[in-house]
């Protein structure tokens, strides 16, 4: 239970206790009927100052005096809570979270990103750049407050290993799940839960300890990534193979304005089905190059032969400048 929700419960409980104690006091001390006691309680709490139907006894006056002071304290507490709730942004955040959740339930073919640490943020940045819909699941309030703008990033606060949270993330219509938590055991549990809810979802998980790779694979993780290993290898390659890294940065869009895209057979327009690469005249018409082709469940062919024919269940990796890539999409892609 969040602290804000606890404060709301406390506020409602205090108001209820105040009303009940007022009604009971007027009935017991002054002998009022329930309706008259309730009326006296309301006008006392609200301090509207209506005249009472009958003069109060001395004991009743003492009770009312104490009762008014008691309610002043309750009123001050509630006003303080409401002021912080509205003016400190809590109301606004809850408002955005509500509509955020409504938006998540409409997502289709999206990615679920579990954890918004350094790796989670990088994954979301790339998904945003590629125009791929996603939703973030993060449990740490301090991370949400510091890094996540609920107006622009679909967010669910909670444990990604919880079935209810994954269902709220619309896992039924998701295609991939990325688990970036630093704890391998948590990633295993998330993978098991996700695969139980949707067996065909593709799970990509962070791996911290190489010894845990088998456990992740048994849990149904399709791909494992070790950020520390990748980072160390990249730094070493900057020394041993600096120009290869420069080239990879170029085709990855980091330098030089180049892009690498993958396209599937069914994405091509109908008139290109069954044609060979050489008959497409891709280089002449757009300036991009088909770098590799392959079957989805098979091997990858680098620098394919010009006679290679577009076939069902194949994918094509294309590289070129952004302006050329846009032209390629306009001519060849549906």
pLDDT digits (tens, 9 = 90+) for 95-109: 566 666 667 778 889
From the list 167, 191, 193, the residue with the least C-alpha distance to 179 is 191
Residue-wise pLDDT for 171-199, tens only, equals: 999 999 999 999 999 999 999 999 999 99
Q: Provide CATH 3.30.70.1450 ranges for the chain.
A: 242-332
Residues 6 or more apart whose Cβ sits within 8 Å of residue 176: 111, 112, 201, 202, 203, 204
* Residue 10 scores a pLDDT above 80: no
CATH number given to 3-87: 1.10.287.70
Looking at the chain, which residues constitute the CATH 3.40.50.720 domain(s)?
A: 107-230
- Give the pLDDT band (50/70/90) at residue 5: low
Confidence of residue 80 (pLDDT cuts 50, 70, 90): confident
What pLDDT, on the 0 to 100 scale, is given for residue 104?
78
For residue 58, what are its two tokens?
């001395």
- Topology (CATH) of 242-332: Alpha-Beta Plaits (3.30.70)
Torsion angle in degrees (nearest 10) through CA of 20, 24, 26, 32 = 110
Q: What is the pLDDT of residues 264-289, one digit of tens each?
A: 888 998 888 888 999 999 999 999 99
Rounded average pLDDT over 196-216: 92
- Domain 107-230: CATH superfamily, name plus number: NAD(P)-binding Rossmann-like Domain (3.40.50.720)
Within the chain, which residue ranges are assigned CATH 1.10.287.70?
3-87
């Amino acid at each position: 239970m969040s602290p804000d929700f606890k404060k709301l419960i406390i506020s409602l409980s205090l108001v209820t206790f105040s009303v009940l104690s007022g009604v009971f006091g007027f009935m017991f001390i002054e002998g009022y009927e329930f309706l008259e006691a309730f009326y006296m309680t309301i006008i006392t709490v609200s301090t509207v100052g209506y005249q009472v139907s009958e003069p109060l006894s001395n004991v009743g006056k003492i009770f009312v005096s104490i009762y008014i002071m008691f309610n002043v304290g309750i009123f001050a507490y509630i006003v303080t809570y409401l002021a912080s709730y509205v003016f400190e942004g809590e109301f606004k955040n809850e408002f955005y979270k509500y509509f955020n959740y409504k938006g998540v339930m409409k997502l289709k073919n999206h990615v679920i990103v579990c954890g918004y640490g350094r790796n989670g943020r990088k994954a979301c940045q790339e998904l945003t750049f590629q125009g791929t819909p996603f939703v973030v699941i993060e449990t740490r309030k301090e991370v949400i407050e510091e890094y996540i703008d609920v107006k622009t990033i679909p967010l669910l606060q909670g444990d990604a290993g919880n079935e209810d949270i994954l269902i709220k993330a619309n896992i039924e219509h998701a295609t991939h799940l990325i688990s970036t938590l630093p704890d391998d055991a948590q990633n295993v549990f998330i993978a098991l839960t996700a695969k139980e809810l949707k067996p065909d979802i593709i799970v990509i998980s962070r791996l911290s300890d190489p010894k845990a790779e088998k456990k992740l694979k048994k849990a149904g993780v399709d791909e494992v990534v070790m950020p520390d290993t990748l980072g160390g290898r990249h730094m070493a390659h900057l020394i041993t193979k600096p120009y290869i890294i420069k080239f990879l940065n170029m085709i990855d869009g980091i330098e030089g304005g180049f892009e690498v895209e993958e396209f599937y057979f069914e994405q091509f327009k109908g008139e290109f089905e069954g044609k060979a690469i050489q008959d497409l005249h891709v280089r002449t018409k757009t300036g991009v190059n088909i770098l590799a082709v392959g079957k989805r469940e098979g091997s990858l062919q680098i620098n394919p032969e010009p006679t290679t024919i577009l076939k069902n269940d194949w994918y094509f990796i294309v590289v070129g400048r952004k302006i050329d890539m846009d032209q390629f999409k306009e001519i060849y892609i549906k």
